[in-house]
Amino acid sequence: MAGSIVKIGTTTASGSPSVLTITGIDTTYNVYLLQVKDLVPSSDDYIAWRVTKSGTVQTDSEYDNARKDMPAAANFQDNEAQNASHVNNAHIESTGSGWFATFHLFNFANSSEHSFGTHEHVAWVSTPQAFGGAGGFAHTVSSASDGISFYFTGGATFSSGELVLYGLKK
């Protein structure tokens, strides 16, 4: 297993950006791994993401997703959306410990397939409680994607955060 994960690049929030984007996905690897660390908004807000194609964020309404959210102080929740303009997730606190996630990204460099991925996430949210979950998403356009861009749906900026992209050797 040693050497089977190759670091592609890192993006770190600096200067309160409104988006945090990482690119670098190409045909070198079939599967990419993205580690999301400590995304914290400037004010309480919902985290969301979109794919990039040739470095451009795709704002169309072609995102399908489903996830199981698991709040510590409530029943498990089923959440899904079709033909959305982004993939939405948890409400993150500006005073909390951030949002952390692991993504596995498939078919991103394939121009004749949909780009899709899985994710597992965890955060401390406003109840207060631990909030975790897992799910999957697809950008239902058959064209190559080269990255993912995160933002907060209510307009908050990033106080902190880091994205680290890896390729999984074939």
The number of domains in the chain is 1
Segments forming the whole domain that contains residue 73: 5-168
CATH assignment at residue 16: 2.60.120
Rounded to 5°, the CA angle 71-132-77 comes to 50
**In angstroms, rounded to a whole number, what is the distance separating the alpha carbons of residues 35 and 69?**
19
| pLDDT given for residue 119 in this prediction | 97
Q: What is the pTM of this model?
A: 0.94
Regions of the chain where pLDDT drops below 50:
none
| pLDDT given for residue 71 in this prediction | 81
Strand partners of residue 92: 45
| pLDDT given for residue 124 in this prediction | 78
| pLDDT given for residue 2 in this prediction | 63
What the block records as the tokens of 64 is 């399908």
| pLDDT given for residue 29 in this prediction | 96
